[in-house]
Each structure stands twice: as C-alpha cells, then as structure tokens.
Amino acid sequence: MEKNHSHHHDLHKEETHTHDKHAGHHTSDFKKKFIISLFLTLPLVVLSAAIQDIFNYQLVFPGTDIVQLLLASVLYFYCGLPFLKGAVSEVRDHAIGMMSLISVAISVAYFYSVATVFGFHGMDFFWELGTLISIMLLGHWLEMRSIMGASKALSALAELIPKKAIKLVGEKQIEVSINEIQPGDKLLVRANDKIPTDGIIRSGETHIDESMLTGESRPVKRVISDPVIGGSINGNGTITIQVTGVGDESYLQTVIDIVQNAQNAKSRTQNLADRAAKWLTYISLGAGFLTLVVWLVLGRELSFAIMMMVGVMVIACPHALGLAIPLVASNSISKVASNGVLIRNRTAFENSGKLTTVVFDKTGTLTVGNFTVVRVLSLVENYSKEDVLRRVTSLEQFSEHPIASAITNYGKMHEVEKHDVSHFESLTAKGVKGVIEGEGNAVLSPKALADFNLSPKEQEETAARTVVYLVISSELVGQVELADEVRQESKQAVKALKDNHIKVFMATGDNALVAKQVSDELQLDGFFAELKPEEKLQILTDLQAKGEYVAMVGDGVNDAPALATANVGVAIGSGTEVANEAADIILIQNNPEDVSKVILWGKLTKRKMMQNLAWATLYNVIAIPVAAGVLYPFILPPAISAAIMSLSTIIVAINAQLLLKEIK
C-alpha cells in the first residue's frame, strides 16, 4: 500500500473531559504527609487494644482515648486531606476511583472510632485508620514519583521563537522584543540565527533548515519573494524579511493550537487500580449497608449492626490494592529507564501491549536526520571512484552550501587527500568550479548540466536522492549521491514489530520520492508523504477511527500534534524538546528498535499489575463476606483482618519485585 497524502484535512476536534486524581498535588506533598502519617500511626498501633491483645501487653493511662482521638484527627484531616479532596473531585467529575474508595474507608473508620470514644459501644479503628492512610500515601507517592510530570509541550514550542529580533527602521537596526513586531515590519536575520516570525524575503538569499518544523530533510533554498517560517534556522546567508504572520497567524502558533486541542481531546484510559477501586467503592457501600440492614432485620442491636457495617467498609479498602499498582509501576518505570526508556504517561505504557499499528516519522527517526554521501560513481573508465570523490571534495571545501558541507565531512571521515585548487568560483544556484592540475573542474547540479550541453544518465535509484555531477573539461565523468541515511536499527525495528503482527507505516513532511525509497527499503506497510502537522494528526485519527490502536514515533515539532493524539506517543530522545514533551514515552538511545522493547515491557508490566490486582481482589472476595458475618457466630476480629491485610500487602510487594528480573 502506498499513499501520497498532500491535501488539507479539516481537524475533527473532540472535547473529552479527563480526570486527574493527582491534580493540585506534588510528589513532595505525598512524601511529607506519608512521613508525618507514619509517626502519628506508630503510637496509635502501640495504644490499640487489639494489638495489645495480640502481643499480650497492656498500656493504658488516663486519657488514652483522647490521645488516640487527637492523633487520629490530625491523621484524618491533614494526612487524609488529599484523598478527601480527590473523592470530591471524582464525584463531581463522575469518575469514581481510588480516591473515593480510600475516602469511604477512612471516613467510616474515623467517625465510627470517634463515636466509640464518646460512649458508643464498640472497638475503635484508629490504628486501622492510621495504617490505611500511611500505606495509601506511600502508594500515591511512589506513583507520582514514577511519572515525570505534566507535559510542557506548549511552553517548549514557545521557546523555539527567539525573544528578540532586529528591526530595520530606515537605515537603522534596532533590537526589539518579539512582542513588538507587527505585520509589515522589516527584520534583519543574520546567518545561523533563528528566524523570529513568518515572513517574505525582501533581500538576500539563503538555505534554511526547516527540518524540525516541517520534516523536510534537506535545507531549503530561499530567495527574494519566498516565504520563511518563524522558528526555522537560517543558513549562511544574511536576509531581510517582511513580517507576514505574528501571534495567532503564525505557523508555529497553528502547531501550538493543534497540540493543545490534541492534549485536551486525548482520553487517557483510567488506570487499572482506579477501575478496580470504582467497583470496590460500590461493593463497599452496598455490602456495608446491606450488612447493617440484614443484622437489624435479624434483630441484633444497632451498635452491633453498625460495628459489622464499619468492619466491612474498612476491610473493603485493602491496603494491598493501594500498593498493587504503584509498586509495579515504580519498579517498572525505574527499570526501563535504566534501559534507556523514560515513561511520562504510565497509562499509555501499560496499554502499549494493545498496539496494532505504529506510525513512524522519517527524518531523524527512521533516518539519521543528516545529509550524508551514500554513493560515489565514476561514469568514465579513466577516472576511478576515488578520483571522483577526491576532486569533488577538493572543490566543495571552499563552499558553505549544506551539500558541500556533507561532502567535505564525508571526505574527512574517509581521509581523502585533497587536490590544490586555483581559480575557484562559486556559481550561484548551479555549483562550484576551479582548476585542478591544469584542467577545468566543476561540481554541478542536474539543472546546471544543461549549460554544458550535458545530460545525466537517468537511474531509478537516484530519483529520490540529491545528486551532484563532476565535469572535467566539458566531460561528465562522475557523480556523488547524497541522502538522509536510513538508521541501521530501523530494519530490525520494523521486522520486530511485524513479527508481533503490528502494521508499520511512515508519515513524513518530506517529498513522495524520498518517502517511497525509504518505505521500499524498510518494506513498510505504506507511507504518507508531504504532510503538514495537522495532516499527520489526521492520519492518526483516521487510523483510530478504523479501530486501530496506534503509536506515533517522531522527533520534530511537526510530530508534536500526532504524538499528543496517538494512543501511545513515542519520541526519539535526540529530537526537539517539543516532541519529547508531547510524547508519552521517550527513547533516550534514539533507537527505533526500542519501540518493540517498550511494547514487550508494557505487556510484562500490565500482566504483573493484573496479578497483583487479582491477589488484592481475592482478599476482598474472602474478607468482605466474612466481615459481614456470613460465618456467624464466627466474626472476623479486626486483628485477624489486619493479619490478612499484612499478608496480602507482603505478597503484592514481593510479586512487584519479581518484575525487575523479567525486564531485560
């Protein structure tokens, strides 16, 4: 399947409300509250009547209940505040999850225990309250610590634009803030500077690097009346531009808007623990109230029925569930980081095993991202390939053109000895010429050959490459071909993905001939070429609309909207900060092969999470009915519940550690 996709698509914007249970909190908040909670919980455990019964000691003094009440109140209202706020937010957003479950358990435990202090018949749950809050704070701290933080894609995009520009007022050059620039202003852009805003060249000519904005692998020649894009990098020529687009009208602002819309619309799957917690909240409330009603109907006193109800609600929030996912996530994310992969969005990583399609950017992702010599040919018998390269390198060393730089670097890498060159001359938009060993030599572009009444021999494999020709005394004697070289790892990456029955496509801003060559070389399932950022995004949404679970792998500003929209966005670490910030996963080693490893690691992590959830849920399946009194007259004492809870937590922790051996 081959596609040349170059026409404009309308964006289909979808408003999807998402809920962030950690909104408004920082990693340090949970850590601080966890430490405080731990210190407050220790005396509650020591003073608990249930614990004293188990370990056969007695520690009672006047005001014991009041001390416990004060400690528990600080625990509930200060350390438990993130959960209470989170529960309110979940209820408001119709997204019942872990925060709601924890809040139900700690609220029931606290207020029931307060009632026992003031005369209500029953045993308090203060120590259960403390351990529950402490372990849940630990779990959320681990969870937040393992995630790199909120996306800064929009601010990173804004950083591409320089803060100052040189404005021309008559003969004067005045440095002004970028915010002071208006359409119609004339700006001076010196060699190698960033272009401050969209505009039209009014004087000078240059080659501009637009690769990280448009995906075009070659520096683009720009002359008078040609447009330029704000944020691109000027080459070796000084130019004057007339401003055409500032603020909302600029190309870069269009990209910013697309990324913002994509991030707002991207529905991040509610994670496993929250989905389990949602049902456990309903089960906890339902089972608790059912327990209360049944015991009252059976004629037991209100205090007994309430005690049984509270036991069910407290036990329904197992400590293991609070650690089941965060421990696995923390271990997994730290382990894959040591293997060169940074996880920014844990949910996307967990779901990477569901991928059916991977879409790669070309420039800098499947390819190296730099022009390089890929072939040297001699076209006549009396000149070898080495002769051709030596003469071309000797002439190009005096040129500042990007193609010349690539050839010169190639010559240095291969330790090519240069000829002495005299009468060197740069031929504008045509090439260079000079005298070597008494003969006229010229390195020319294909179009410039016509001036010498020469025509290149058409070769299919050179159609997607940049070619320069060596002419000696009006004879065409050789050619040098340049291209953006395919990474060595790309073939293995594509093969590994296909072996996992995952379709592989390429979406690039580069031209169709170049895209086809790379697609054929890598044996991709198809390609899309000459794309604008919004069109890359449309490719993703079209595939998703067909039921595909899609990963986007890219490195440039033009990839950011697609990275933010994909089910799993993967950035090559050597790419732009914008791409890294918009992605869910970053490959530090710049190796496309790591995409298949991420999928494998994601599957292992998800499986381990499911195992832990299964164990944590099994605890509930057994403990809730027993706590409700189905085995009456046997009643599950709080101390026994605590022992089961501890065993469950230990098993979950050990299982999470085993993941470290599985990720290699």
Domain boundaries, the chain: 27-145+267-334+602-662, 162-196+198-245, 370-485
pLDDT above 90: percentage of residues in the chain: 22
Asked whether 595 and 553 are in contact (CB, 8 A), the reply is yes
- pLDDT exceeds cutoff 70 at 310: yes
pLDDT at 3: 42
N-terminal to C-terminal alpha carbon distance within the chain: 35
Exposure string over 430-444, b if 16+ CB within 10 A, otherwise e = bbbbbebeeeebbbb
Q: Which CATH number fits domain 162-196+198-245: 1.10.10.60, 1.25.40.10, 3.50.30.40, 2.70.150.10?
A: 2.70.150.10
Average pLDDT on 344-367 reads 85
What pLDDT band is residue 632 in, cutting at 50, 70 and 90? confident
Q: Measuring CA to CA, which residue among 212, 198, 216 is closest to residue 253?
A: 198
Specify the CATH superfamily of domain 370-485: Calcium-transporting ATPase, cytoplasmic domain N (3.40.1110.10)
In this prediction the pTM is: 0.60
| Peptide linkage before 633 cis (omega within 30 of 0) | yes
Query: Lowest-confidence range among 242-251, 269-278, 511-520?
Result: 269-278
Query: Lowest-confidence range among 33-42, 72-81, 111-120, 651-660?
Result: 651-660
What pLDDT band is residue 31 in, cutting at 50, 70 and 90? confident
Please state, in angstroms and rounded to a whole number, the distance separating the CA atoms of residues 260 and 253.
10
- pLDDT exceeds cutoff 60 at 2: no
Average pLDDT on 326-332 reads 77
Active site residue ranges: 361
Greatest mean pLDDT among 22-31, 244-253, 258-267, 615-624: 615-624
No. of helices (H) and no. of strands (E), the chain:
22, 22
Half-sphere exposure of 48 (CA within 13 A, CB side): 25
